[in-house]
Chains A and B, each alone.
Chain A
Amino acid sequence: GDQVEQSPSALSLHEGTGSALRCNFTTTMRAVQWFQQNSRGSLINLFYLASGTKENGRLKSTFNSKESYSTLHIRDAQLEDSGTYFCAAEDGTEGADRLTFGKGTQLIIQP
């Protein structure tokens, strides 16, 4: 099965509202990274966490390695937040520096 289970697969929000995306991990992960993929296909770094919580503007992310999950909260959603969001995790195995990606959440922000 997938090591990184991301949900929901799709989400529609009205401007000004908020929601949360979640990734569950089936194995111990050392760190998690969240990306937004824009319409050009570029992967934009949002957060990199080895533990705890980080906040940047209207976005906040938490990584709980003990309980094997990470969340990305979006508040006061804007039209430019539309895109596909991916979580990706670094395996905790020594030397395993590769990222394992979730399947993504397609986020649509409606006026």
Chain B
Amino acid sequence: NAGVIQTPRHKVTGKGQEATLWCEPISGHSAVFWYRQTIVQGLEFLTYFRNQAPIDDSGMPKERFSAQMPNQSHSTLKIQSTQPQDSAVYLCASSPTGRGNQAPLFGEGTRLSVL
């Protein structure tokens, strides 16, 4: 079991460019979560899918950010017109169902740097 796989590990973009981050959850896990980590804000929830359906996107910035889960084997987080304040480590996690007693497991993250 390879764990949650996130690609790329590092991404550098210029201001105004688009960035797409990929997450492959653990096989058989139906819940996928996205979080963001910065020095200032710490670890923040972004969005969550269960069985590929969006369940909670309350942490997503209203503009420029979107997430999809087109099939059970991957999810993407897309940031349009990236800004320097989007620089962060983006973490993906998966769990068997997203419900209690089943701890989510995290990937190693994608470090996004916007110049």
Contact = CB atoms under 8 A, between A and B. Distances in A.
Instruction: Indicate the size class of the contact surface on chain A.
Output: 20 to 34
B53 interface: no
Contacts of A31: 100-101
B43 A97 contact: no
A45 B50 CA distance: 21
B56 A95 contact: yes
A42 B56 contact: no
Contacts, number: 58
A99 B31 CA distance: 13
Interface stretch (A16-24, A56-64, A72-80, A100-108): A100-108
Instruction: Indicate the size class of the contact surface on chain B.
Output: 20 to 34
B92 to A, nearest CB: 11
A81 interface: no
Given A42-B108, A97-B48, A88 B43 contact: yes
Contacts of B101: 31, 48, 50
Interface string A64-75: 000000000000
A33 interface: yes
Contact of B45 (A50, A95, A99): A99
A43 interface: yes
Interface of B: 31, 33, 35, 42-45, 48, 50, 55-56, 58-59, 89, 91, 98-106, 108-109, 111
Given A45-B103, A95-B55, A99-B33, 18 more contacts: A31-B100, A31-B101, A33-B103, A33-B104, A41-B89, A41-B109, A42-B106, A48-B103, A97-B55, A97-B98, A98-B33, A98-B58, A99-B45, A100-B45, A101-B43, A101-B44, A102-B42, A103-B42
